[in-house]
Structure 1
Amino acid sequence: MLPETDATRPTAGAAPQDGADRDAEYWAALTARDGRYDGLFVYAVTTTGVYCPPSCRGRRPRRQNTAFFDSPDAAEAAGFRPCRRCSRDARAADREVAERIAEACRRMAAAEEAMPDLAALATEAGLSPGHFQRQFKAFLGLTPAQFGEGLRMLRARNALRAGEDVLSALFAAGYGAPSRFYAAAPKYLGMAPAAYRKGAAGQRIAWSAAATRLGCLGIAATEKGLCWVHLDSDPDGLEAALQAEFPEARLENADAGLARWRQQLADYVDGRTDWPLLPVDLRGTAFQLAVWSALREIPAGTTLTYAELAARIGKPRAVRAVASACAANRVALAVPCHRIVRGDGSLSGYRWGPERKAALLETERSAP
């Protein structure tokens, strides 16, 4: 079998074919166990009721007992089930690829200046550049370039917080030109780099607080919506936590202006009302925004696992990235990440402790 490259990988629908020509091509791929066709079609065996990818190492079926489908979903809709052997092999292959992707991420994170390029990462992983990029995105929900951009921005953000000037921070983070940094910064930082360096200097952020059964609730908002939600056992800790997040912002106590949102969240925490859908002002990657949006669509009183949430946003292999996006949520409660649990149903981590998470879920489940 030829090693896969972008040039040799077949493309579904690359050339018009009638059914007979297509089936002949697929049968040839099946008999050759050609892994280049994996993902383009599956074949089903009518005598056993199972379906497999073309590269399956199981016993070859008779031609008259074989049917072809464009996807596993199509095969299952026709009444076939996945082959157990293929499923085991796929899980083993997934583990191997996941380790290769993890090693690539470690190498990118360890790079002191310029990130390794796609070709170098793919070569180390033993894959073609195109295949490596597809696998990387399937597992993490973003491309190697997007992952590298996030790492660079994290370094720049930390340097700005440490007081470095903007030019020093962007070059130290690996940006070759200021224009690229300035173009990307608002999406990740939520403001211009100079403003972020100054702790959001000049940014007006209104905040308010209320007592709840789970502690003191603090909320903060920009003109666009909630940008921060916090629970703390110490009332004095609320403003300190907000000040640490936006050290130079113009914080304004706005009990009257934020009264409705504050009361809606407080009543929800105390079990007096249903979960409120409130406007939020969140900045993050496209992947993070997709996760946060999906969290707001989970009905109150129900939970999903990280894997189920990853599947819901169309990234079934990006479980770890989903967990990271949940952890980066700055408006928990307004974006209800407490509705995510481990695969066995047990509670996972929560920024305000598992006891508060359990209490929120119990309140939701017991609501009339």
Structure 2
Amino acid sequence: MDSIAPAPDPRLEQARRLLDEQELGLAALARAVGLSPTHLQRRFRGAYGLSPAEYLAQRRLDGLKRGLRAGSDVTRALYDAGYGSPSRVYEHGAARLGMAPQAYRRGGEGLCLRWSVIDTALGQALVAVTERGVCAVLLGEDAAVLEAGLRAEFPKARLERVDAGRDEFLAPRVRAVADALARRPWAVPVELVGTAFQRRVWEALMRIPPGETRSYAALAESLGMPRGARAVARACAGNRLAVLVPCHRVIRGDGSLGGYRWGLPRKQALLEAEQGRRPPAKQQTA
């Protein structure tokens, strides 16, 4: 899992360490650390952004990923990670891993990603889709650099670059992303592939209306973790769906921009456009 700062209450740290060592239900965990289940649930989420059950599920998933990446066969990796039933992983594996466990083990081998690049007022945007929806919107100035980033995420996937408008599945999704970048109405399925905590943050970002901003601290507070501003910032930095998951709408408490994966000038331009201080961005499809 992402590195987690120690909680100020040693009982919460004890609870987290116990979950790292063994699988415990909420009641047993609460007894072990001397808190009631209700208090442990609330305070654990406030400190770490996840309930004990969610933390345990994420720990199992991380173990599965490590095993698959190390080359273990799927069945061995599943049981080593603590999954009692392989069927449960295959039922939900695509949502959590972004693909079936076998494909994840092979670095995306057998998975086909169609992608294209469009020119926008924010620079170039690489749009990649799987059969489930848009999995990446990467911003930059160099298509080769953007492609390299996509290959790093899916090193053995088949990446198929398609000229815009020449693929009946990709074309409407590229148009939807272009609409989003130009501040026009858009609708397209997206894949939120990340940890349980990252997905909570990204889903919260998608609820921030255009033209509004939230501070990292306020967003953390809304998620029930008042000391989690840094964790929220890390989740924003890990967002691979520029604009569709609007991490640009999160700023520092003093009103300054903070960070942005694709550069502060783009963040500034997006915020100014959404707040009506600039015209919508124009785009041309490559």
Report if TM-score (shorter chain) is over 0.5.
yes
Cα drift, residue 151 of structure 1 = 1.6
Which of these residues, 189, 192, 205, is aligned with residue 282 of structure 1? Answer: 192
Q: Secondary structure at the match of 2:138?
A: strand
Q: How many residues align?
A: 268
Contact 2:215–2:251 at 8 Å: present in 1 too? yes
Residues of 1 paired with 2:40 and 2:183: CA distance? 48
Q: Secondary structure at the match of 1:231?
A: strand
Residues of 1 paired with 2:141 and 2:105: CA distance? 30
Contact 2:128–2:136 at 8 Å: present in 1 too? yes
Q: Which residue of 2 aligns with 1:360?
A: 270
Q: Which residue of 1 aligns with 2:103?
A: 195
RMSD: 3.4
Q: Which residue of 1 aligns with 2:64?
A: 156
Q: Secondary structure at the match of 1:157?
A: helix
Q: TM-score, normalised by structure 2?
A: 0.75
Contact 2:58–2:196 at 8 Å: present in 1 too? no
Q: Secondary structure at the match of 1:335?
A: coil
Residues of 2 paired with 1:233 and 1:348: CA distance? 21
Contact 2:15–2:29 at 8 Å: present in 1 too? no
Q: Secondary structure at the match of 1:209?
A: strand
Cα drift, residue 137 of structure 1 = 3.2
Q: Secondary structure at the match of 1:251?
A: strand
Which of these residues, 72, 78, 98, is aligned with residue 170 of structure 1? Answer: 78
Between the two structures, name the one with larger relative contact order (CA 8 Å, sep ≥ 6). Answer: 2
Percent of aligned pairs sharing the same letter: 49
The equivalences for 1:246-257 within 5 A come to 246-254=154-162, 255-256=164-165, 257=167
Q: Deviations over 1:251-300 (max 9, x none)?
A: 2223223445435545765xx54474543132456665454333223232
Residues of 1 paired with 2:267 and 2:61: CA distance? 31
Which of these residues, 17, 33, 42, is aligned with residue 107 of structure 1? Answer: 17
Q: TM-score, normalised by structure 1?
A: 0.61
Cα drift, residue 335 of structure 1 = 1.0
Q: Where do 5+ consecutive residues of structure 1 fail to align? A: 1-95
Cα drift, residue 116 of structure 1 = 5.5
The equivalences for 1:214-233 within 5 A come to 214-233=122-141
Q: Secondary structure at the match of 1:279?
A: coil
User: Counterpart amino acid of 1:340?
Assistant: V
User: Counterpart amino acid of 2:174?
Assistant: R
Find the structure with the greater CA-based Rg: 1
Q: Deviations over 1:305-349 (max 9, x none)?
A: 234334556x36474554454344321211111101122222233
Residues of 1 paired with 2:197 and 2:263: CA distance? 25
Cα drift, residue 196 of structure 1 = 1.3
Q: Where do 5+ consecutive residues of structure 2 fail to align? A: 1-5, 280-286
Q: Which residue of 1 aligns with 2:212?
A: 302
